[in-house]
Amino acid sequence: MTAVSPPSHRISAFFHRKPKLRLGLLLTAPMLWLGLAYLGALAALFITAFWSTDVFTGKVVTDWSFDNFVTLFSDSVYRTITFRTVGIALLVTVIDAVIAFPMAFAMAKLASPRAQRLLVIMVMTPLWASYLVKAYAWRTLLSGNGVLNWLLNPLGLSGPGYGVTATVITLSYLWLPYMILPIYAGLEKLPTSLVDASGDLGAKSFRTFRSVILPLTFPAIVAGSIFTFSLSLGDYIAVKIVGGTSQMLGNVVYDNIGAANNLPFAATVATVPVVIMLVYLAAVRRTGALDNL
């Protein structure tokens, strides 16, 4: 950077002599963004969770109490919904990882450079279409007289109908690109010579995969999992479209804001995914995977 600045330019020269000041100024904007917009909003959310709402006028009453948290922990329905949501998010993550890895591997290691570019574009294409269109497309596919049943009926099978299974399928489809792209990037960085060396030393392909490829691309899989896991954890639209009667944490938050005008309780519920994500990130950090991001 500094080599490019013309020495005659006084300001850049000044900053060149004071690297710490330069760094400080450069970091101010992102730090403000992180501190105010992100952490500030989270803090406000957490504070709101201790307040309550006047049921009739709909105004927020700023009396401090743990009532919302008591409701959250004592009512079994919220436990059920939390477990269902985490279960769906984990399942989506696993399914996406299993599907994405071979795809990313083929893209990064087997395809020609020209085909590689084309494949990346093809993986990204669904991201250009609206989330809603894709979710409603799945609603049509999974319908009682939809394509899926039409294909399965001759085999004596039937589709899953609307419900948790349909939600997992739809979310897995929606977030798949977010898993493929990080793994693809990770595999691209993996030197082919290492794979060759493993083969030269007598390892069969599975051994090479287990001992060389997987450990080196694990951080990339974790990076992808953070996307798929957190996006599934917060989702409320897909489950509304194909989830039949089931609901996720996002629906509880949405209903409390939209229908009940109860922002405090919505905030209380919203802390659940935040806490789960913190636990998840802490667990991921312990594996050392974040250092490689």
Partner 1 sequence: MKNRKTLLAGLCGVSLLLAACGTSGSDSKAGSAPGAQGFTPPKLNALTQLGQPEGQLNVLAWPGYAENGSNDAKVNWVTPFEQQTGCKVNVKPFGTSDEAVTLMKTGQYDVVSASGDASLRLVASGDVEPVNTALVPNYNDIYPFLKNKSWNSVNNVAYGIPHGWGANVLAYRTDKVQPEPKSWSPMFDEKSQFKGKVIAYDSPIYIADAALYLMAHQPDLGIKNPYALDDKQFKAATDLLKKQRPLVEEYWSDYLKETQSLKSGDGVIGTAWQVTVNLAKSEGAPIAATVPSEGATGWSDTWMVSAKSQHKTCAYKWMDYITSPKVNAQVAEYFGEAPANSKACAEFKDKSLCDTYHANDAAYAAKIQYWTTPIPQCLDGRTDVKCKDYGDWTRAWTEIKG
> For residue 73, what are the CA distances in angstroms to 70, 127, 256?
5, 37, 17
Shortest Cβ 141–partner 1 spacing (Å): 11
The CA distance from 240 to 243, in Å, is 6
Report the site for partner 1 in 151-180 (rule: CB under 8 A): 161-162
Residues 6+ apart with CB under 8 A from 9: none
* Residue 146 makes contact with partner 1 by CB under 8 A: yes
Q: Does 260 bind partner 1 (CB under 8 A)?
A: yes
Cα separation, 131 vs 135, in Å, equals 6
Specify the stretch interacting with partner 1 by CB under 8 A; choose among 43-51, 95-103, 193-201, 248-256.
248-256
CA of residue 58 relative to chain centroid, distance: 33
- The answer to whether the CB of 277 falls within 8 A of the CB of 230 is yes
Distance, in Å, from the CA atom of 132 to the CA atom of 170, rounded to the nearest integer, reads: 11
The window from 76-84, 85-93, 96-104, 195-203 that contacts partner 1 (CB under 8 A) reads: 76-84
Pairing of the two strands 60-61 and 52-53? antiparallel
Closest distance of CB 130 from partner 1, Å = 15
Among 202, 245, 275, 286, interactor with partner 1 by CB under 8 A: 245
Size of the site for partner 1 (CB under 8 A): 37
Stretch touching partner 1 by CB under 8 A, among 109-117, 120-128, 135-143, 217-225: 135-143
Phi, psi of 278 (to 5 degrees): -60, -45
Residue numbers at the binding site for partner 1 (CB under 8 A): 53-59, 71, 75, 77-78, 80-81, 139-140, 143-146, 161-162, 240-241, 243-247, 251-252, 255-256, 258-262
